[in-house]
Amino acid sequence: MESNKLVALVVIIGGLLIGGVVLFSSGNEDPTKNVASVENVVEEAGKQVVTVSAKGGYSPRVSKAKADTPTILKMETKATFDCSSALSIPALGYQGNLPPTGVTEIEVPPQIAGTKLRGSCGMGMYSFEIDFI
């Protein structure tokens, strides 16, 4: 009985360690991720995909995207337990709670040039914008 418990404990701790290593290494995949100049806008199947990470604020703070193009905003969270997970994009009528870890895709219809699409946390403390040019 006792050794069974010990085995179970070892399995649980082992799982946590492996999970931690996986999380840690995936978090380190791209060390430039938080640099605003990193290319976070890509074309995928006729749409442009803008990736913004949410954790203690939003990164990058400003993205430049193409106007008149169907767009998917990918909000990435990674152990995000702060209010940046409470996302609000008023111009889209979007308000949602991002999962602590994951990717949330938000459809953005084509925007006219000059549009600055702003998103912020529920309290308006953190924000980001996508400039359509």
Which residues contribute to the site for Cu ion (CB under 5 A)? 83, 121, 123, 125
71-77/102-108 β-pairing:
antiparallel
Kindly tell me which of 9 and 123 has the beta carbon lying closer to Cu ion: 123
Residue 9 or 125 with smaller CB distance to Cu ion: 125
- Nearest alpha-carbon partner for 130 in 122, 121, 120: 120
Residue closer to Cu ion (CB basis): 50 or 121: 121
Burial of 127 (0-12, 13-18, 19+ CB in 10 A): middle
Q: How far is the CB of 122 from Cu ion (least distance, A)?
A: 6
Residue 30 C-beta: closest distance to Cu ion, Å: 25
